[in-house]
Chain A
Amino acid sequence: MFRRTVVKLLMVLMLIPFASCKKWLDLQPQDGLTGAEYWKTKEQVQAAVTGIYASLLGSATGSRSAAESFFLWGELRADMVTSTLLTLPEQIDVINVNMLPTNSTANWRGIYETINYCNTVIDFAPGVLAKDATFTQTALNRAVAEAKALRALMYFYLVRTFDQVPLKIKATSSDAEIVSIAKSSQDEVLTQVLKDLNEAEIDAVTDYGDRASNKGRITKATINAIQADVYLWQDKYAECVAACNKVINTNQFGLIDGSDAGVWYRTLYVNGNSNESLFELQFDNQKLNTFYPFFNTQRKVIANPIVMDEIYTIDLVDPLKFDIRADGAAVRSTDQMIWKYIGLTNTTSRAAEESYAHWIMYRYADVLLMKAEAQNQLGNGQEALDIINLIRARARALIATAQNPAVSDKAGIAEYILKERSREFAFEGKRWFDLLRNAKRNNYQRLDLLLDVVAITVPPNRQQSAIAKFKDKNCHYLPIYFYELTTNKALVQNPFYK
């Protein structure tokens, strides 16, 4: 009797769901928003754009943060960092020119994630115009301009690091859109980069109205700076100078005064968003960068001894004469710690929870030195030298690092600029790209620049192999990570790593 009752009860209960839920075939996920439900208001567009910037600070899927990738790609193979006992074996392999495709330093995943966020905004934001009446065409253009500029910047990093990369400019928003794309040549990618930048330049904002946004979001000046960098990479010097002049002529930027080393360091690197900077990744106390453990507690890399010995040098007689960019700014010379992201002042360190030094993408000094490099190649040596001297005077560079190339000595001035850039942008993720850009100019005329680097950085028992490897220009670019090769059959490995 009891059992029968239970069965009846259950049967009745079974009916309840059908009766109560009308949408019983609704397959919408319960824990997220779908594309069809998103992209309806201007706030959502704004949130998506902010998401692109956020993805540069740290990946939502656990990939390496973009800032860390930029550091690894821009410094590890160059001559200003060196390994410690705690350096990961695969990072030592990068330093020793021993990379295999299984080396995760070559994992570009985080960058493509950011690119996909950009693509999503570019593809879907225009649809909001019809749905949200308060969303204006100008606001849309601005959002798309920001996304395009960031996408261009990401691809620019990728081609400089990998040479040829797959060019994906459509959003991947569903499984059906996952396609295998073959690599595009460096020229094709750079053409797209410039197209994006030129389109973004038209609509980009010059002033967001607050300092954090002006330095933390894409502005017209930032776009011009990226253009200058791309043109310089492509050896298009006149275009580079023109782009630099656009930034200079805004009269909104200047060099931070260096007469007090402590104030200079605090303004430029500790507080960040200074008058000198164009674009910085805005780490803050809610989103720390990964550099505190990387440089301090875990000491994955330290500064190469040549940074103090040869690049900045020391005045052994007068301790009051020093390059303000050296000890206590770029590096702590007593233990070679990379100080730029660790120091709260010239001498005291940040605490772990204060590790939010911004990652500076472009600053005014960079624009000036890019202009100098281009002017020198155009034959205007005097203007290049004037800019170098301006930068050196600000930094109180030591006489020991001064060079006196003749105004007509193009090669000599180019080398001087390269050296000055290494002092000015120490550990800002630019050194390797500077070296490679100078080495590859005029069909690898200055390949020796790179060979000299490995002669210093690679341990003696691997030095000869490393030098011979660097004579192969494919070796200057990283391999495609093995995981990408297995998931995208259209990709072909960089021939050096086959």
Chain B
Amino acid sequence: MKKYLSTLVTIMLGLLIIFYTGSCKKIKYVESTTTDLNIYGYIKANPDKYSSIGTIVDKSGYAGFLNAYGSYTMFVPTDSAVKIYLTEVNKSLTALTETEAQDIVKFHLLEDTLTTAAFKDGKLPTITMYGQFLTTSVVNTTGQSTILVNRQGTITAANIRTGNGLIHQVDRVLKPASKTIAELISADTRFSIFKQALQATGYYDTINTINSTDPKLRRWFTVMAETNQALADSGITSFAALKTKYSNTGNPLNALDSLNIYVKYHIIPDNKYLADIVSASSHTTLAPLEVLASKLDGVKVLLNDLDFNGVHEIGIELERSTSDLSATTGVLHTALAHFSPKVRFPTAVYWDVADFPEVRKLPAIFRRSNFSFAYGAIKDITWDRTTNTMDYAYTTSTSINVFWGDYLSVPMGNTTRHNWIEFTTPIIIKGRYKVWICYRAAKGSGTVGLPGGSNMPVQPSFDGTDLSRQFNFCEQRPNLSDGELEALGWKKYSPATTQFMTGKFLGIIDVTTTDRHKFKLRSLPAAGTGNPSDFLDMVHFIPINENQYLPRFNTNGTLQYF
């Protein structure tokens, strides 16, 4: 008991000492975990540059979250920038309302940390809190290159790191677009004919309406407007001429009217700046199942610059200086030539799968020798990596009568061989096609045509949809006449008499867009170890109303039409 008592006294004495010393001398404890300033703190700590924007942030009531944990990027206008802005809008700093202040701050703020290294040509990857994208570009004036934001302000100090994000200092206040795409087109006399076409077909209103106040739900549009000059180059000098040329039903509001389709073909239902357009090879438009192909040729952005059946179609250039115009409903680009959906009729594609750019670059191999391509070496063919190579093979054997003497040796199976192989096809024009697979039948064990031995069933698919029939690399065609064969779903695709040279019908496909598509072979579980060398030669896509078994493909590369 005594012991406890003394302990108690000691504690009390100790506490007393602490209280007394505490009251006469304050001990400073560090309460924050870091001394790094947050975005708001940084602005406030530099009143010589940022006092005006500091006032605006205070007024907007956003100071709280700009000084709290988070990851933001803020474009901070300097005092002189704010001064210029206020003169433009003819207001004083004190006269700005809370909403105006909020809009200014929101348009300068992104909920992401983006260094200048993340900037691309065109829009930033993240939308501003205001609900419009900011664009960036680099301009060179008198030998000095600077980053221009929204075509309005130059970044004068970049990538300033603060506790809750990044600051880029800009020399102008950034102003959101206030016009819709329709208003931008109206304002430019170069688009007067195109504007009339938009109005006549009813799409003027579509691109003039902000269809949702929430930017994340808003449907954006991208319009490729044709200038009057572009139309005049194609002999169309007035809206009347354009209407005469296209409007086949007389009522442009009719969705099936060609003028209606023409206009729809110029509208992409998404927010696509030039950088986005060149990043993908094709874009769906409002016109049903019509895609715009795009590519970058040197520094030019071209639409529909394609090779069709060996004929080069010259592309339509989008003018860089007058494109990428932001609007409240999307983006506006300027097309320098007249274009409309091409009416194309389905054409047969006799696709030699063993002829691809990568092998053509190897003159010592192409149609001369064998070669195993490493995974990733062929742009348009991918496969599971169970076997690491894709074997291109060449043969002069008189019993293997493949087209040009070359084929892909694709042993498929569920052991160590390819489980699947996916090809990107050549361009197929939209329409209805019969699909044929052409190979040379072979068996690793057993005899072709007799039961037993190796077995290699494969499920083909087109654009992810399984075709109605499967095939088997070990199966040969029956020995019948062309008519009988076709009725049974076979064909003699090579002039060689051997039954090994097999064409098999896989099903009918509807190709919905004129584009390159995916063709995939997948081995089926019923497979044994497969044939050690399956001879895949060709794939035919033949319009349903055309002759399915001619021409035949000779081993010397010639075609035989009988």
Residues of A within 8 A of B (CB): 93, 96, 98-100, 308-309, 314-319, 333-335, 455, 459-475, 495-496, 498
A-chain residues with CB within 8 Å of residue B364 when the two chains form the complex: 319
Contact A472 B140 (CB under 8 A): yes
Contact B276 A461 (CB under 8 A): yes
Per-residue A-contact encoding for B151-164, CB less than 8 Å = 1, 0 else: 00000011100000
A-chain residues with CB within 8 Å of residue B358 when the two chains form the complex: 334
Per-residue A-contact encoding for B337-367, CB less than 8 Å = 1, 0 else: 0000000000000000000001011111110
Contact sample, A vs B, 29 pairs, CB 8 Å cutoff = A96-B117, A98-B116, A98-B117, A100-B116, A309-B361, A315-B363, A316-B363, A319-B364, A333-B361, A333-B362, A334-B362, A334-B373, A334-B377, A335-B377, A455-B298, A460-B275, A460-B279, A462-B120, A463-B278, A463-B299, A467-B299, A468-B140, A469-B145, A470-B145, A471-B145, A472-B145, A474-B144, A495-B144, A498-B158
Main secondary structure on A side of the interface with B: helix
Per-residue A-contact encoding for B128-149, CB less than 8 Å = 1, 0 else: 0000000011111001110100
Nearest residue, chain B, Cβ from A305 = B361
Chain A nearest CB from B483 CB (Å) reads: 41
Contact A464 B144 (CB under 8 A): no
10 further contact pairs, Cβ within 8 A, besides A455-B299, A460-B275, A460-B296: A98-B119, A100-B115, A309-B361, A314-B361, A319-B363, A465-B136, A468-B138, A469-B140, A475-B145, A496-B145
Nearest residue, chain A, Cβ from B320 = A464
A-chain residues with CB within 8 Å of residue B116 when the two chains form the complex: 98, 100
B121 touches A (CB below 8 Å): yes
B-chain residues with CB within 8 Å of residue A317 when the two chains form the complex: 363
Contact A473 B138 (CB under 8 A): no
B374 touches A (CB below 8 Å): yes
Count of A-B residue pairs with CB < 8 Å: 95
B250 touches A (CB below 8 Å): no
Nearest residue, chain A, Cβ from B299 = A455
B525 touches A (CB below 8 Å): no
A-chain residues with CB within 8 Å of residue B368 when the two chains form the complex: 319
Instruction: Determine which residue in B120, B137, B138, B366 has the highest number of CB atoms from chain A within 10 A of its CB, and name it.
Output: B138
Nearest residue, chain B, Cβ from A318 = B363
The listed residue (B121, B159, B376) touching A463 by CB distance below 8 A is B121
Contact A465 B143 (CB under 8 A): no
Chain B nearest CB from A444 CB (Å) reads: 9
A-chain residues with CB within 8 Å of residue B137 when the two chains form the complex: 464-465, 468
Nearest residue, chain A, Cβ from B359 = A334
Q: A461-B278, A465-B136 are in contact. Are A498 and B143 (CB under 8 A)?
A: no
The listed residue (B158, B275, B374) touching A462 by CB distance below 8 A is B275
Q: For the complex, what is the distance from the CA of A100 to the CA of B114, rounded to whole Å?
A: 12
Q: A100-B116, A314-B363, A475-B145 are in contact. Are A461 and B279 (CB under 8 A)?
A: yes
Q: A334-B371, A462-B275, A463-B299 are in contact. Are A472 and B143 (CB under 8 A)?
A: yes
B92-128 interface with A by 8 A CB criterion: 115-117, 119-122
A-chain residues with CB within 8 Å of residue B365 when the two chains form the complex: 319
Nearest residue, chain B, Cβ from A475 = B145
B-chain residues with CB within 8 Å of residue A464 when the two chains form the complex: 121, 137-138, 299, 320
Q: For the complex, what is the distance from the CA of A471 to the CA of B365, rounded to whole Å?
A: 43
B-chain residues with CB within 8 Å of residue A498 when the two chains form the complex: 157-158
B303-333 interface with A by 8 A CB criterion: 320
Contact A335 B363 (CB under 8 A): no
Residues of B within 8 A of A (CB): 115-117, 119-122, 136-140, 143-145, 147, 157-159, 275-276, 278-279, 296, 298-299, 320, 358, 360-366, 368, 371, 373-374, 376-377
Q: A461-B120, A471-B145, A475-B145 are in contact. Are A308 and B361 (CB under 8 A)?
A: yes
Q: For the complex, what is the distance from the CA of A469 to the CA of B120, rounded to whole Å?
A: 12
Chain A nearest CB from B371 CB (Å) reads: 7
A-chain residues with CB within 8 Å of residue B299 when the two chains form the complex: 455, 463-464, 467
The 8 closest A-B pairs by CB, nearest first: A319-B364, A461-B275, A472-B145, A468-B138, A471-B140, A460-B278, A98-B117, A465-B138
Chain A nearest CB from B178 CB (Å) reads: 26
Q: For the complex, what is the distance from the CA of A474 to the CA of B298, rounded to whole Å?
A: 24
Contact A335 B376 (CB under 8 A): yes
Nearest residue, chain A, Cβ from B324 = A464
Q: For the complex, what is the distance from the CA of A354 to the CA of B120, rounded to whole Å?
A: 42
Chain A nearest CB from B345 CB (Å) reads: 32
Chain A nearest CB from B364 CB (Å) reads: 3
Q: For the complex, what is the distance from the CA of A475 to the CA of B145, rounded to whole Å?
A: 8
A-chain residues with CB within 8 Å of residue B362 when the two chains form the complex: 314, 333-334
Q: For the complex, what is the distance from the CA of A459 to the CA of B119, rounded to whole Å?
A: 12
Q: For the complex, what is the distance from the CA of A481 to the CA of B372, rounded to whole Å?
A: 44
Instruction: Determine which residue in A99, A100, A461, A462 has the highest number of CB atoms from chain B within 10 A of its CB, and name it.
Output: A461
Nearest residue, chain B, Cβ from A466 = B138
Contact A463 B139 (CB under 8 A): no
Q: For the complex, what is the distance from the CA of A321 to the CA of B361, rounded to whole Å?
A: 13
Nearest residue, chain A, Cβ from B159 = A100
B-chain residues with CB within 8 Å of residue A308 when the two chains form the complex: 361
Contact A463 B296 (CB under 8 A): yes
Instruction: Determine which residue in A99, A463, A473, A495 has the highest number of CB atoms from chain B within 10 A of its CB, and name it.
Output: A463
Q: For the complex, what is the distance from the CA of A159 to the CA of B115, rounded to whole Å?
A: 27
Q: For the complex, what is the distance from the CA of A91 to the CA of B161, rounded to whole Å?
A: 21
B-chain residues with CB within 8 Å of residue A474 when the two chains form the complex: 144
Q: A98-B116, A334-B358, A334-B374 are in contact. Are A471 and B143 (CB under 8 A)?
A: yes
Q: For the complex, what is the distance from the CA of A232 to the CA of B63, rounded to whole Å?
A: 58
Nearest residue, chain B, Cβ from A320 = B364
Q: For the complex, what is the distance from the CA of A467 to the CA of B362, rounded to whole Å?
A: 33
A-chain residues with CB within 8 Å of residue B376 when the two chains form the complex: 335
Q: For the complex, what is the distance from the CA of A495 to the CA of B146, rounded to whole Å?
A: 11
Nearest residue, chain A, Cβ from B117 = A98
Chain A nearest CB from B406 CB (Å) reads: 15
Q: For the complex, what is the distance from the CA of A468 to the CA of B320, rounded to whole Å?
A: 13
Nearest residue, chain B, Cβ from A464 = B121
Nearest residue, chain B, Cβ from A317 = B363
B-chain residues with CB within 8 Å of residue A465 when the two chains form the complex: 119-121, 136-138, 147
Chain B nearest CB from A79 CB (Å) reads: 14
B-chain residues with CB within 8 Å of residue A455 when the two chains form the complex: 298-299
Q: For the complex, what is the distance from the CA of A99 to the CA of B138, rounded to whole Å?
A: 14
Nearest residue, chain A, Cβ from B140 = A471
Q: For the complex, what is the distance from the CA of A455 to the CA of B121, rounded to whole Å?
A: 13
Nearest residue, chain B, Cβ from A496 = B145
Nearest residue, chain B, Cβ from A334 = B377
Q: For the complex, what is the distance from the CA of A253 to the CA of B276, rounded to whole Å?
A: 54
Nearest residue, chain B, Cβ from A309 = B361
A-chain residues with CB within 8 Å of residue B145 when the two chains form the complex: 468-472, 475, 496
Nearest residue, chain B, Cβ from A472 = B145
